[in-house]
Structure 1
Amino acid sequence: MKIDRDNLVKVPESKMFVRFQDCDALGHLNNVRYFDYFLNTREEHTRYYYALNLMELAKKYRANWVVTNHQIAYVRPADLGENIIIQTQLIYFDNNSIVIEASMYNENRSHLKSLLWSTMRYVSAETARSTEHPEEILEMLAAVQVAQKEHRPEGFHNRITEITQALKRAQATS
């Protein structure tokens, strides 16, 4: 598993369309569907931007990441028929866990709609217990990680404020 560090996109993004079947009676993206949008997008990002197939990695190392915690904020609704932008990034890792940040914006990126932090533990398929990342995976994680973010619960709320203030500053200067 070799990642081209020179051409690496650490914060990949995708444009998506909010579909009817994913919305509630008010025409907003259903709260549960945010997880699908975020997690499916991250899977696509790892495959496209890092050439990683998570199921092949799981077979090779007989281990995979299991979600242990989600923190999510619904800042503004994503509306039926709206184009949205989803960005994902690795904000933390250690010997046996990772934290992925996924953020959702309106199409012109002027408003944060939702923020998700997913904490995942690396778990052995044979023992169903936490296990350490192999050296090759640690190297890959080091290559794709953005500058480490404060990932404790209070850091999550600080991160929402950081993003929304940056968006306001960008709007003020444009």
Structure 2
Amino acid sequence: MNTLPKTLESQSKIRFQDCDPFNHLNNGNYIDYFMNHREDQLIKHYAIDVYAMAQKLGKSWVSSSNQIAYIKPALLMETVSIESQLIHYDSSNLKVEMRMYNKDKSQLKAVIWCGFVHFNLLKQQREAHSENLMTLFKGVKIEIKEQLFEERINNIRKMKANSSTIVKS
């Protein structure tokens, strides 16, 4: 039996049109990079195409919330590594954590928690996840101990600092 990956990863190059006058990725564009990563990886690893679902079934997910921490700037023409993972789900909600690093993942750039609501586009109302989706979510969800975004950011920073110290020893 093939085990599905819980953490999805890809790389992307920061483009000129997405940067501010300081050659940093514009704050609003971080979300675009995160969402593009997640959409591509859902298709690649879980065979979930949110747009095909919307067209065929009239159901998909809509964004309900975003919490983002900008830690280090992503720079023009820099290749970044993006990771994402499901950290919470229930009958109609998802919460995904995504992290952006430099190419070799030695420097954390940003962290985001994205909330999504499963939505019936035809009825214009919240939709319960199917049994198949709930089974998938159960298999790929990552357990994290933090309930608050700020606490998670602090702990990720500590983990990165500790791993850097261990590597240097």
Scaled by the length of structure 2, the TM-score of the pair is 0.91
Aligned to 2:158: 165
Local SS of the residue matching 1:164: helix
Q: Establish whether residue 108 from structure 1 lines up as the match of residue 108 from structure 2.
A: no
Contact 2:50 2:61 (C-alpha < 8 Å) held by counterparts: no
- Per-residue Cα deviation, 1:49-91 (whole angstroms, up to 9, x for no partner): 1122222333454321111111111111101121111001111
Moved beyond 6 Å, runs of 4+ = none
CA distance in 2, matches of 1:119, 1:106: 24
Partner letter of residue 76 of structure 2? L
Q: Tell me: CA distance 1:150–1:87, structure 2 relative to 1, closer, same or farther (3 Å).
A: same
Local SS of the residue matching 2:111: strand
Local SS of the residue matching 2:6: coil
Between 1:155-164 and 1:51-60, the stretch displaced more is 51-60
Identity over aligned pairs, percent:
34
CA RMSD of aligned residues (A): 1.5
CA distance in 2, matches of 1:73, 1:111: 14
Contact 1:91 1:146 (C-alpha < 8 Å) held by counterparts: yes
Q: Establish whether residue 141 from structure 1 lines up as the match of residue 137 from structure 2.
A: yes
Local SS of the residue matching 2:42: helix
